Amino acid sequence: MRKSRVLLAGVAVAAAGVATSAFTASNTFSNGSGSAIIGYGETTVSGATITAVHYNRDSSDKSILASIVWDTSTDLTGLNATTGATMTLKDGTSHVGDYTCVISGTAVAGVVTCAVGGTVTFADFDHAGLAVGGQ
């Protein structure tokens, strides 16, 4: 009886994994891309391989987030440079804001820069999500 419950649980986990993967883009993160400490809670990227994430402080007030820069090894040169990526900041389940990002770089080393501006502090968010491509 115990073996059948363990087997049934394994089948349920595998089925959930298959069902979930059908609704998500393929995301790849290099070792160290999620190792940033300041303001980092979660990284979500659709359709790109992120190799590093940089959190940049405001030059006059170090508690304010000026921008987040996402390094990628994915060829993003075919995307619109100013509307091909969008970043979302959240604090838990609360929405902090959406930000249009600028894509630059080459097919070998792309950069997605998301200016935040304003008064968003590092304490205001714990999730940074990046959507790349799409319509």
Does residue 7 belong to any structural domain of this protein? no
Q: How far is CA 15 from the centre of its chain?
A: 26
In this predicted structure, what is the pLDDT of residue 13?
A: 39
φ/ψ of 42, rounded to 5, equals -160, 145
Which residue in 78, 57, 53, 54 sits closest to 66, CA to CA? 57
Q: What is the pLDDT of residue 58?
A: 92
The continuous run of DSSP H or E covering 94 comes out as: strand 94-105
Q: In what order do the strands lie in the sheet with 65-72?
A: 28-29, 49-57, 65-72, 110-115, 94-105, 85-91, 127-132, 43-46
The verdict on residue 128 lying in a domain is yes
What's the confidence (pLDDT) of residue 28?
A: 52
Amino acid 60: pLDDT: 92
Classify residue 17: in a domain, yes or no. no
DSSP β-ladder status, 65-72 and 28-29? unpaired
Report how many domains make up the chain. 1
Whether 55 is in a domain gets the answer yes
4 within a domain of the structure (yes/no): no
- 18 is a domain residue: no
* pTM of this structure: 0.65
What domain range is 80 assigned to? 26-132
Q: What are the mean pLDDT values of the chain's consecutive 10-residue runs (135 residues total)? A: 40 39 44 44 64 92 93 84 85 91 83 90 90 70
Does some domain include residue 76? Answer: yes
Q: What pLDDT score does 57 carry?
A: 93
Find out whether 46 and 64 touch, Cβ atoms under 8 Å: no
Write out the DSSP string of 65-132. EEEEEEEE-S--TTS-TTTSEEEEEEETTEEEEEEEEEEEE-SSSEEEEEE--TT-BGGG-SEEEEEE
Within-domain flag for 67? yes
